[in-house]
Amino acid sequence: MARRGLFRWKIADYVARIASGIMGPEEFDSKVLARHVVDAIRHVGMQLRDERNGVLVCPICGRGPFTKRGYFLHLTRTHYSQLIDLVEVEADRIAGVAKNVVS
């Protein structure tokens, strides 16, 4: 697997873990990824955590209810490319904000 594909897969994996509650956002950190990408993964993961009356529902497509593991699998199999796109947009937004603050 190409390095870029591996990073994309790991990003989607971590977003899905945070969104499903398998991993808390505070538990995720990476020495390989840039800080703004780590923050974007945490933020997107928390945005996708939609729990209604104790069950997980997908805010992207409305399917559910899911267990933690079922929601993780749903996100990684059904919404893989959307997870990557959401992280890219959020990382660009965070990097842009940081750039404007420094300027």
Domain boundaries, the chain: 26-102
Query: What is the rounded distance in angstroms from the CA atom of residue 10 to the CA atom of residue 17?
Result: 10
The CA-CA-CA angle for residues 34, 28, 9, to 5°, reads 70
Classify residue 38 as exposed, middle or buried by CB count within 10 Å of its CB (0-12, 13-18, 19+): buried
Tens-digit pLDDT profile for residues 51-98: 888 889 999 999 989 999 999 999 999 999 999 999 999 999 998 876
The reported pTM is 0.86
**Higher model confidence: residue 77 or residue 101?**
77
pLDDT of residue 7: 82
In the three-class reduction of DSSP (H, G, I as helix; E, B as strand; rest coil), residue 18 is classed as helix
